[in-house]
Structures are given as structure tokens and as C-alpha cells.
Amino acid sequence: MIVASLMILAQLQVSVPPDAGRRYDAPVAVTRGWLAPGERQTIVPASVPLDTPVVQRPRAIEYSDSYYTRLTIHRIGSYTMIPLFAAEYSLGQNLINDAAPPGWLKPTHVAVASGIGILFSVNTVTGLWNLWEARQDPDGRTRRTVHSILMLASDAGFLAAAGLTPEREEGGFTNATDYQHRVNLHRGVAIGSFALSTIGGAMMWFWK
């Protein structure tokens, strides 16, 4: 009986795994093996799937202090152009419609036109300068480009209108019809330039 008991105990000892009494820092499914006493476990992270999207951080765009100074000047000029347009149109209509306009009317018309020319020269320089500095900024790029094209087109229109100014004193018109045609052409080009610049300015007023 004693011999049989000893044989059963020996068989039980053989069936128990040699590492059954060890303690582990991680599950066997993770470690994929047994750790000897005192060994440190190293867990290798799973690889990132190939289809994981790579998110790029947006690139910061920095503007100089001069940029904001030019922008302030540009905005003030854009707000000033509407009153100048209204005054120039009114003066021009009086010159066209009055049979005997007062002596101050024409010099005033010329002075306001000169003021518009100076204003657009300043806004063209500040606008193109800032457009170049903002070339790397994708935010609002399309609006800036369309705004610049409209304002440059209005610049060209104002130069053309100045060249089409009719002058009774200079002659060169064979009859009143030719003179009136030049008047209408001058006025049409000027009004078209007013419209283009107003649309371009309104884009930036409403969309900043």
C-alpha cells in the first residue's frame, strides 16, 4: 500500500509543468514564452497598419508688422474711394449736362480725378505688396487673387478714362456727334472702372 501511494505521488509530480510555480509580469499570450526568475519582460508594440492616415500639422504663417500697417492703409483707402466716386460722377454729369458750367466745376472734377489716381496708386502698391507676402497662406487665397485682378482692371480703366477725356478747347471733333461719342465713351469707361473697384472692395469688406 505504501509503495502504491509513493508511485501515485511520483506520477503527479511528473505531470506538473516545471514552470508552474513562477510569477510573470505579463500574460503568457503576450510574452509568448516563459520567463525565468529575475528576467525582465520586453513587450514589442504592434506595428501600425499601412492604411493608417498620416495627419500633417498645419504650417504656421507669420506676417510682419509692416504687413498690418499696409493693410490698414489699404483699408482706409478702400473706404475713401466710394465718396470720391460719387463726387467725381456728380461733377462729370454736371459738366456734360450744363450748357454753361461754372468755372470751378472743371478744375474740381480734375482735382477729384487726381485724388482717385493717387488713392489707387497707393492701394495698388500696398495691395500687391501684401499679396506677395501672403503668397504662402492658403486661407483666402482665391479671394485675394480675384480682388487683386478686379482692382488692377479698374486701374487700367481709370487710365483709359483719363486718356478719353473730351476737351472742347482742343478741337479735333468734326461735329457735335463725335464730341458726344467721346463723352459717352469717357463716362462709360469711368463708370465701369467704378463698378469693378467697388465689387473688388466689397469682397474684402464682407469677407475680411
Give the domain ranges of the chain.
65-207
pLDDT, residue 179, reads 82
Give the pLDDT of residue 26.
Answer: 47
pLDDT tens-digit readout, 72-118: 999 999 999 999 999 999 999 998 888 788 989 999 999 999 999 99
Q: Which one, of 172, 166, 203, 167, lies nearest residue 188 by Cα?
A: 166
DSSP state of 18: T
Cα 208 to Cα 202: distance, rounded to the nearest angstrom:
9
Q: CB neighbours of 105 closer than 8 A, spacing ≥ 6?
A: 91, 94, 95, 98
Query: Average pLDDT in the 140-165 region?
Result: 94
The pLDDT confidence band at residue 60, using thresholds 50, 70 and 90, is confident
pLDDT for 166: 82
pLDDT at 19: 53
The more confidently predicted of residues 19 and 113 is 113
More confident residue, 167 or 195: 195
pLDDT on residue 49: 58
Q: Are 154 and 200 in contact (CB under 8 A)?
A: yes
Q: Pick the range with the lowest mean pLDDT from 39-48, 49-58, 149-158.
A: 39-48
Would you say residue 50 has pLDDT above 90?
Answer: no
> pTM here?
0.66
pLDDT, residue 31, reads 44
| pLDDT top residue among 197 and 99 | 197
Please state the length of the chain.
208
- What percentage of the chain carries pLDDT values higher than 70? 68
**Quick one: pLDDT at residue 28?**
46
pLDDT at 29: 43
User: What's the confidence (pLDDT) of residue 128?
Assistant: 96
Q: Which residues of 157-193 are buried (b: 16+ CB within 10 A; e: fewer)?
A: bbeebbebebeeeeeeeeeeeebeebbeebbebbebb
Segment 7-23 shows an average pLDDT of 53
Q: How far is CA 149 from the centre of its chain?
A: 14
Joined grid coordinates for residue 55:
495627419
E strand segments, the chain: none
Tell me what pLDDT residue 185 has: 93
